[in-house]
Structure 1
Amino acid sequence: MDRGENRHQERRNRHKPSTIHSLAQAGDLTGLRSILLENPALINARNPIMAQTPLHVAASGNQANAVALLLEWNGLEKVDIEATNMYGETALHLAAKNGCTSALKLLLGKNASIEAKAHNGMTPLHLAVWSAVRTEACDTVEALLDHNADVNAEDNEGMTPLSHIPKISSHEKLQTLLKDRLELQLRQKAQKICQLSEQRMTDLEAELNKLMGLKELKLQLWKWAKGMILDEKRKSLGLKVPRRRLPHMAFLGSPGTGKTMVARLLAKLLCKVGVLSSEKVVEVQRTDLVGEFVGHTGPKTRRKIEEAVGGILFIDEAYRLVPAQKADDKDYGLEALEEIMSVMDSGKLLCIFAGYAEPMQRVFKSNEGFCRRVTRYFYFQDFSTLEIAQMIHLKMEEQTDDSLLCGLKLDRSCSVEAIAGLLEQKTSKKQRSQLNGGLVWPLLLGAKDSLDFRLDLNCCDCEALVTISLPDIEVALDTIPGELSKFPSY
């Protein structure tokens, strides 16, 4: 090739159009503006093999002016600040990895995700530390820490940024930077957890106060919740905390004493502190678990178990799974119980077995592993007449627009003491033991029926039309049957 032809080739090369990636790498602002005006879509174009955008290239070369231009570009297409290359790295990752502090600060100023993770789980801080170990320069690390990068973030190998500093090294400044910030972040996290914990305990107490009686149970729940919240705080400070097993429980007591309500409250509480992943409570009885034929019980029970995963499986009248007398070949209750027992160590759900205290002894004795798995026993005492009367008042105060008692109120004569006196006179101890809180709703509906019956159709007295009197409650009490089996279901 002669000299003239060489000069001609040089001129051709000089005027050959550059790619947007090469312009970004060179920091050629004029070229970048020109090519973007001509083809706006190129702003997020990816190069071959590495799949990097112009922003990746400019950031990795610390071309701050080019980074600023791309970030501020006001054309038809906008830069994707979170675009990732073939390794899952953002432009912030590359700026951190290459110690490009100027570019990194510009990206942080535009709220680039400081905790973004590459495919290996590394955050920009991991890579900045890796770079600082090699170069002895801590500028990028300091810039990330100034934006509160998480010093305790773990990569796919469970290593934090601090773990990437060789144990035998002279990187004292880097170690001090990270350790001081880690201590500060742990304190801040613990303080935030304290504030949340205080609110959680306030919420818990408000919920517990809605329950009548159950003084000992409330105290146990409060202590338990406090212990879990303190463990959460210990963990946030970097302290070791023993793994909590799901606390399977037995709720012992008569119907209507609040067992189901407490189970729902527990689900909320345990979900809030992270013990459960869901607030759901799946309520089942024998008929929901036990099949009529061979091979039906296992699948039927497993379906209910699967439905409760993440929350609570509440087995009401659990003693019915274990017959009082020796079971014949057609009783499959024990099979259902064994299915439930088989998943109790899995950590997938919490089981609550509920029923009368005495027949529940059959369940406790039916399986050797039951008492090992069920570690919490709560006794629900029968409500007193005063507590039932308080529940009646509470029910009237909590009426919603879609309630059957919406708009109604109790007469002044219907004091808690007056209603409690009527309950003492008109119901037997056996009736109250069988029904407890189950008396409240039917009693109020019966009182409304009495109100409607005694009012004249021509009555236009607004007060009279909405006021339940003490005689209305007395009439409703007279309709309560002596046996639970004869009581209507509401």
Structure 2
Amino acid sequence: MESYQDKRPTFDKPKNIHECAQSGDVLGLQKLLQDNPSLLNQRNAVMSETPLHISASYDKAEIVKFLLEWEGNDKVELEAKNMYGETPLHVAAKNGCNEAIRLLLSHGALVEAKANNGMTPLHLSLCHSIRSEDGSIIKTLLENNADCSATDNEGMTPVDHLSKWPESGECLRELLTSHIEEQRKRKALECCGEVKAKIDALEKELSKIVGLHELKAQLRKWAKGMILDERRRALGLKVGNRKHLHMAFLGNPGTGKTMVARILGKLLHDVKILPTDKVKEVQRTDLVSQYVGETGLKTREQIEEAEGGILFVDEAYRLIPMNKKIEGSWDFGLEALEEIMSTMDTGKILVIFAGYNEPMKRVISSNEGFCRRVTNIFYFNDLSCEEIANIVHIKMNNNQEDQDSLLYGFKLHSSCSIEAIAALIERETTKKQRMKMNGGLVGPMLDNAKGNLDLRLSDDCVDGDELRTIRLEDLEAGLRVSFRSMDVWDR
């Protein structure tokens, strides 16, 4: 960090571009560049420095400005490094050249650039500031967001380096310490804006889920805690690492288990709990082989694909047979489950087991480590007729943004209120039928409703609004066709 400005040779008659840069000979430098523009970033033989290095280290502001604003085809290398890995900003800071520093920073010089020894311009500015008893260079760098917490290759911050001057460095230590606290507060405020954006994004995703109020409350609670941890870290507070919250989702088909898993993957990735937002959805057939010795390998392959995200094991109860032995042979599903359980403590994946309420009890009781690892069990209740009707409206609104959807560009007639659709569903379906499908009713019903609309309209219809409007009678026909095609119509 010792200044080398005094050790450089001087020249009475500038002869080359580096000599012009050192002496401040703008006209001489300009003529050299006009004759040979390739000299703009030419390195000298001693320090491998460019003209910008030289002019910055001698605070020749006029030369620095000329080089930075050179309009030729070649552009000045703002981050060029000398033999010590120092940029022009480094050497300007090391030699107390405040005007050059301001010019370099105003043109985008990296205030956090690191030399070969890991030091930033702020590190290198300390020696000159101590010797000159002038903290203006440090203030200029701090005004441009120099990081007081940056460490060099020895792990030392600028404040740490001030210990070399215990008496004369006290004022600078107070300046840097005060700025560190201001930086922390600023980061915390910036974090607040990011927090609000993440919470708003979460609420948007949760609005797509109908019902499940208890689960939504828990997701909001987790999100708030995780996001506040980010703010705590921004303030320099110590925060422990959160463990993966392995879960079980219990409920009938169509209650939103898979959708919630996907939302959860995005949420945990956004708050940096998971490296990725991928959700790997698997069932027994993806994990279990019919041959001895292959199930473990097959399961590990699925786990590796899910690494960094969520492994969503749907119909997890199928891994556990009604009787633990089948025709005298141990069921391979247990082997797959044990392989998954052995991975859950590594932190590489988050596992969600999903399935019907009663059959899932077999999974929970099948492995003594299950309850210890799966600490969050959520019940997905069957949807009411009104909630299913609400999904119809949500899906139709989402289809307006999905050009690949069959219903892209279509809309519901004003008569298709949530109340009217709920009454239709209650009238045309049984509780048992709804329990088997829940939200799964909606997709087939809407697709078949569109088919009924096409059948109902005359071949010569040219009314654009009528051509894209689904009426209540279409939904009714679509509901009936859906049940017939799925062979569950039992009325």
Q: Structures share a fold, TM > 0.5?
A: yes
Displacement of 1:131 after TM fit?
4.5
Q: How does 1:349-360 map to 2 (within 5 A)?
A: 349-360=349-360
* Distance (Å, rounded) in 2 between the aligned partners of 1:132 and 1:461: 79
Of the structure 1 ranges 225-234 and 31-40, higher mean CA displacement relative to structure 2 is found in 31-40
Displacement of 1:371 after TM fit?
3.0
Of the structure 1 ranges 213-222 and 284-293, higher mean CA displacement relative to structure 2 is found in 284-293
* Distance (Å, rounded) in 2 between the aligned partners of 1:166 and 1:140: 19
Q: Name the structure 1 match of 2:382.
A: 382
Closer/same/farther in 2, CA of residues 414 and 245 from structure 1, 3 Å limit? same
Q: 1:251, 1:377 within 8 Å by CA — same for their partners in 2?
A: yes
* Distance (Å, rounded) in 1 between the aligned partners of 2:82 and 2:178: 33
Q: 1:293, 1:330 within 8 Å by CA — same for their partners in 2?
A: no
Of the structure 1 ranges 253-262 and 196-205, higher mean CA displacement relative to structure 2 is found in 196-205
Of the structure 1 ranges 193-202 and 229-238, higher mean CA displacement relative to structure 2 is found in 193-202
Q: Name the structure 2 match of 1:196.
A: 194
Letter in 2 for 1:58: S
Q: How does 1:363-402 map to 2 (within 5 A)?
A: 363-400=363-400, 401-402=403-404
Q: Name the structure 2 match of 1:341.
A: 341
Of the structure 1 ranges 475-484 and 92-101, higher mean CA displacement relative to structure 2 is found in 475-484
- 1:147 is aligned to 2:149: no
2:422 to 410, 420, 423: 420
Displacement of 1:297 after TM fit?
3.0
**SS of 1:99's equivalent?**
coil
1:108-165 deviation digits (Å, cap 9, x = unpaired): 2322111222344332112223543565442321110122222233344443322322
1:445 to 435, 444, 447: 447
* Distance (Å, rounded) in 2 between the aligned partners of 1:116 and 1:487: 68
Q: 1:257, 1:380 within 8 Å by CA — same for their partners in 2?
A: yes
Closer/same/farther in 2, CA of residues 483 and 384 from structure 1, 3 Å limit? farther
Identity %: 56
Closer/same/farther in 2, CA of residues 59 and 391 from structure 1, 3 Å limit? same
Q: Name the structure 1 match of 2:432.
A: 430
Q: Name the structure 1 match of 2:170.
A: 172
2:181 to 183, 202, 216: 183
Q: Name the structure 2 match of 1:243.
A: 241
1:430-455 deviation digits (Å, cap 9, x = unpaired): 22122110000111222333334444
Of the structure 1 ranges 109-118 and 160-169, higher mean CA displacement relative to structure 2 is found in 160-169
1:370-394 deviation digits (Å, cap 9, x = unpaired): 3333332222111111111121222
**SS of 1:377's equivalent?**
strand
Q: 1:319, 1:363 within 8 Å by CA — same for their partners in 2?
A: yes
2:252 to 251, 254, 262: 254
Question: So what's the TM-score if we normalise by structure 1?
Answer: 0.86
Displacement of 1:92 after TM fit?
0.7
Closer/same/farther in 2, CA of residues 438 and 303 from structure 1, 3 Å limit? same
Structure 1 gap ranges (5+):
1-13
Letter in 2 for 1:441: G
Of the structure 1 ranges 61-70 and 351-360, higher mean CA displacement relative to structure 2 is found in 61-70
Structure 2 gap ranges (5+):
1-10
* Distance (Å, rounded) in 2 between the aligned partners of 1:462 and 1:64: 69
Closer/same/farther in 2, CA of residues 463 and 364 from structure 1, 3 Å limit? same
Closer/same/farther in 2, CA of residues 115 and 17 from structure 1, 3 Å limit? closer
**SS of 2:379's equivalent?**
strand
Q: Name the structure 1 match of 2:34.
A: 37
Q: Name the structure 1 match of 2:231.
A: 233
**SS of 1:378's equivalent?**
strand
Letter in 1 for 2:231: K
Displacement of 1:84 after TM fit?
1.7
Q: Name the structure 2 match of 1:266.
A: 264
Displacement of 1:27 after TM fit?
4.3
Closer/same/farther in 2, CA of residues 487 and 117 from structure 1, 3 Å limit? farther
* Distance (Å, rounded) in 2 between the aligned partners of 1:56 and 1:83: 8
* Distance (Å, rounded) in 2 between the aligned partners of 1:461 and 1:110: 60
* Distance (Å, rounded) in 1 between the aligned partners of 2:449 and 2:443: 10
1:208-261 deviation digits (Å, cap 9, x = unpaired): 122111111111111111111111111111111121223222222111111111
**SS of 2:225's equivalent?**
helix
Q: CA RMSD in A?
A: 3.1
Q: 2:14, 2:23 within 8 Å by CA — same for their partners in 1?
A: no
Q: Name the structure 1 match of 2:332.
A: 332
Q: 2:389, 2:419 within 8 Å by CA — same for their partners in 1?
A: yes
Closer/same/farther in 2, CA of residues 292 and 75 from structure 1, 3 Å limit? same
1:358-412 deviation digits (Å, cap 9, x = unpaired): 2223333333433333332222111111111121222233333442224444344
Q: 2:324, 2:331 within 8 Å by CA — same for their partners in 1?
A: no
Question: So what's the TM-score if we normalise by structure 2?
Answer: 0.86
- 1:124 is aligned to 2:127: no
- 1:52 is aligned to 2:52: no
Aligned length: 474
Letter in 2 for 1:246: H
Q: Name the structure 1 match of 2:285.
A: 287
Of the structure 1 ranges 42-51 and 381-390, higher mean CA displacement relative to structure 2 is found in 42-51
**SS of 1:166's equivalent?**
helix
Displacement of 1:282 after TM fit?
2.0
Q: Name the structure 2 match of 1:8.
A: none
* Distance (Å, rounded) in 2 between the aligned partners of 1:262 and 1:125: 48
* Distance (Å, rounded) in 2 between the aligned partners of 1:68 and 1:474: 75
Q: 1:392, 1:440 within 8 Å by CA — same for their partners in 2?
A: yes
Letter in 1 for 2:118: G
Of the structure 1 ranges 222-231 and 276-285, higher mean CA displacement relative to structure 2 is found in 276-285
* Distance (Å, rounded) in 2 between the aligned partners of 1:194 and 1:396: 34
Closer/same/farther in 2, CA of residues 58 and 356 from structure 1, 3 Å limit? same
1:276 to 274, 277, 280: 274
1:190-222 deviation digits (Å, cap 9, x = unpaired): 112112222322232232122111111111111
Q: 1:292, 1:330 within 8 Å by CA — same for their partners in 2?
A: no
Q: Name the structure 2 match of 1:323.
A: 321
Displacement of 1:413 after TM fit?
4.1
* Distance (Å, rounded) in 1 between the aligned partners of 2:130 and 2:334: 63
Q: 2:55, 2:63 within 8 Å by CA — same for their partners in 1?
A: yes
* Distance (Å, rounded) in 2 between the aligned partners of 1:214 and 1:73: 63
